[in-house]
């Protein structure tokens, strides 16, 4: 697997780079030699942020971890990616013709991830009235949800306002 390192407000020392390479190489068993890993190390708000993205045969696996230490972050990020690999494998076994996962020999996980029932259990419909982003922020606070869907009165497009992991807000603007 080819590994690309990107530094943003953080200097990756050689020992950290070697440790990350060694740990990511344990995932080689799931991929061919064309797989590419992108590791982004950065400082954000006095916290270490590690993003690991692996691309292989049109599939994408991604994990993002924020913590006090990059070494700990890599130990948290790779089990997330391994879970994604297993989930994808079980979903689409045809794309992994030559791969057989031995659940007793996982690289980072202690056991096989539990299956989560992904059926729709509730359906809602509602009318979208055009509002400003500022009003959507107020509505998001009022309903105490993680997201709020609204029709942006300035653009005329559907937007999703959501609470990010760090407590800030994110805005998704839908193009259609």
Q: Which domains does the chain have, with CATH numbers?
A: 2-105 (3.30.160.100), 130-173 (3.30.505.50)
User: Looking at the DSSP assignment, which residues form a beta bridge with residue 43?
Assistant: 48
pLDDT at 176 (0 to 100):
79
**What does the alpha-carbon distance between residue 35 and residue 55 come to, in Å, rounded to a whole number?**
6
Q: What is the pTM of this model?
A: 0.55
**What does the alpha-carbon distance between residue 8 and residue 42 come to, in Å, rounded to a whole number?**
5
Does residue 13 come out as left (phi exceeding 0), alpha (psi in the -120 to 50 range) or beta? beta
pLDDT in tens, 80-120: 999 888 887 777 665 545 556 666 667 677 666 665 567 88
Task: Output the CA angle 109-113-114, nearest 5 degrees.
Answer: 155
What contacts 89, CB < 8 A, 6 or more positions away? Answer: 30, 96, 99, 101
Closest CA to 152 of 133, 137, 165: 133
141 and 61 Cβ atoms separated by less than 8 Å: no
What contacts 139, CB < 8 A, 6 or more positions away? Answer: 131, 148, 150
pLDDT in tens, 121-174: 888 888 888 999 998 988 887 777 889 999 999 999 999 999 998 889 999 998
38 and 52 Cβ atoms separated by less than 8 Å: yes
pLDDT at 97 (0 to 100):
53
**What does the alpha-carbon distance between residue 62 and residue 136 come to, in Å, rounded to a whole number?**
30
């Amino acid at each position: 697997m080819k590994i690309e390192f990107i530094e943003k407000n953080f200097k990756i020392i050689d020992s950290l780079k070697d440790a990350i390479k060694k740990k990511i190489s344990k995932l080689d068993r799931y991929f061919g030699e064309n797989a590419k890993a992108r590791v982004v190390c950065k400082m954000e708000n006095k916290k270490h942020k590690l993003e690991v993205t692996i691309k292989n045969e049109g599939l994408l696996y991604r994990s993002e971890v924020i913590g006090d230490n990059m070494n700990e972050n890599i130990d948290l990020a790779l089990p997330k990616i391994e879970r994604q690999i297993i989930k994808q494998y079980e979903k689409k076994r045809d794309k992994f013709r030559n791969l057989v996962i031995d659940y007793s020999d996982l690289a980072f996980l202690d056991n096989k991830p539990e299956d989560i029932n992904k059926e729709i259990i509730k359906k809602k419909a509602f009318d979208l009235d055009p509002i400003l982003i500022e009003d959507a922020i107020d509505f998001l606070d009022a309903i105490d949800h993680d997201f709020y869907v609204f029709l942006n009165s300035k653009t005329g497009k559907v937007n999703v306002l959501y609470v990010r992991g760090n407590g800030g807000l994110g805005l998704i603007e839908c193009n259609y």
